[in-house]
Amino acid sequence: MNILGIETSCDETAAAVVRDGREVLSSVVFTQIPLHSPYGGVVPEIASRAHVEKIGPVVGEAMERFRALGAGEIDEVAVTYGPGLSPALLVGLNAAKGLAKALGVPVVGMNHIEGHLHSPFIRDAGRDFSDLPDPVESCPALGLVVSGGNTVWVDMPEYGRYEVVGETLDDAAGEAFDKAAKMLGLGYPGGLKIDRISQAYAAERGRGDLIPFPKGRPREGVSALAGLPAGLCVSFSGLKTALLRYLQREGAALSAGERRNYGGYEVTPETARVAASYQEAIAQALADRTRAALARGRYRSFILGGGVSLNSRVREVLSSVCAEAGVRIVMAEAKFTGDNGAMIAALAYYRRNRGEDASLLDADPGLEIGGHR
């Protein structure tokens, strides 16, 4: 079964064709990052305009590559209808409805966060699939989606059942990375830059002299408002403030010293130390809450997805948390960590007959996963 997946929830216009929920036959992602970077974040109006311009060419190219394979016809169209930016979601949803009508196939609406939880289960066609885990057999699982818009831990007792057990009470981890990068003068988006700089710094000096920034522990009262235990939630606002205060106090030290190449970026050793310290705080915050969440149940796997899951230190610490807990970690391949259409198409295959008929759907920017908003 070939499913065309369309994803336009934020700043990527993406389309892909996936066979039987696993084999990616074609995948095209147009990223709008250069359009948003002058503004230091995603501007919804710019995003929706760019989606309108790019949706045709992106879907067209994904279809062209699929057709070139001679791998049959499209059986279904799947599209993200939430959560995300409302005007951005609408572009994908309308395109999907039109396409499905033209192709004479059903159109189903998918949840973006569920899509990320599917991203570790796909691979490009032609590769070896023998070691690719199966999403159904991976349950009971704990999922973590950690991206620019979400940081959420999801309990999946069985395939297709979701319950949010922890989340960020303010910024998503990706946002926390991006805001820090801005403060450090590294530009937007900053996650990957901080990652590369930190990796180079740790290779040179280790982690012994890192600054002990706060590890994202929220206050009880605040997490209670969200109906979730503090031990399973993160709050990155304190970490951000701690960085700001540190820069106000020690700013001179950061600009002192010769700039050197750290992971491809010219920064002073002190800037690299601060970046590595900040990253360590986020990675340890995620590790600590994941450890606590894993201790709640008997999980077979830990499923990790989202743009921040590409972070080398986050992968490293979460891998050791899972090794300690005796739980298999399944992570998305680098190219599927960010927003893409393939994860949406794959999800639709496994959610067959359970997806929402999207011909009647509207965009739902606050769409819940597992009944939790």
Is the alpha carbon torsion for 31, 65, 94, 354 positive or negative? negative
User: Least distance to ligand KG4 from the beta carbon of 276, Å?
Assistant: 12
Residue 233 backbone dihedrals phi, psi, to 5 degrees:
-115, 160
Point out which span in 56-64, 146-154, 201-209, 357-365 binds ligand KG4 (CB under 6 A).
Answer: 146-154
Q: Is 189 in the site for ligand KG4 (CB under 6 A)?
A: yes
- List strand residue ranges (DSSP E) for 59-138, in order: 76-82, 107-111, 123-124
Other C-beta atoms closer than 10 Å to the C-beta of 256 total 11
User: Least distance to ligand KG4 from the beta carbon of 54, Å?
Assistant: 16
- Please tell me the total number of residues recorded for the chain in this structure: 373
Q: Is 10 in the site for ligand KG4 (CB under 6 A)?
A: yes
Candidates 83, 120, 143, 191; binder of ligand KG4 (CB under 6 A) is 191
Tokens matching residue 358: 């999207």
Q: Is 339 in the site for ligand KG4 (CB under 6 A)?
A: yes
Task: Give the pairing type, strands 76-82 and 107-111.
Answer: parallel
Residue nearer to ligand KG4 on the CB measure, 82 or 306: 306
Q: Is 144 in the site for ligand KG4 (CB under 6 A)?
A: no
Residue nearer to ligand KG4 on the CB measure, 23 or 339: 339
Tell me if 281 sits within 8 A of 216, measured CB to CB. Answer: yes
Tell me if 232 sits within 8 A of 153, measured CB to CB. Answer: yes
Q: Is 2 in the site for ligand KG4 (CB under 6 A)?
A: no
Residue nearer to ligand KG4 on the CB measure, 100 or 274: 274
Tell me if 6 sits within 8 A of 344, measured CB to CB. Answer: yes
| 127 secondary structure, DSSP code | S
Q: Is 310 in the site for ligand KG4 (CB under 6 A)?
A: yes
Q: Is 195 in the site for ligand KG4 (CB under 6 A)?
A: yes
Radius of gyration of the chain (CA): 21
Point out which span in 155-163, 224-232, 264-272, 301-309 binds ligand KG4 (CB under 6 A).
Answer: 301-309
Interface residues toward ligand KG4, by CB under 6 A? 10-11, 147-149, 174, 177-178, 189-192, 195, 306-308, 310-311, 338-339
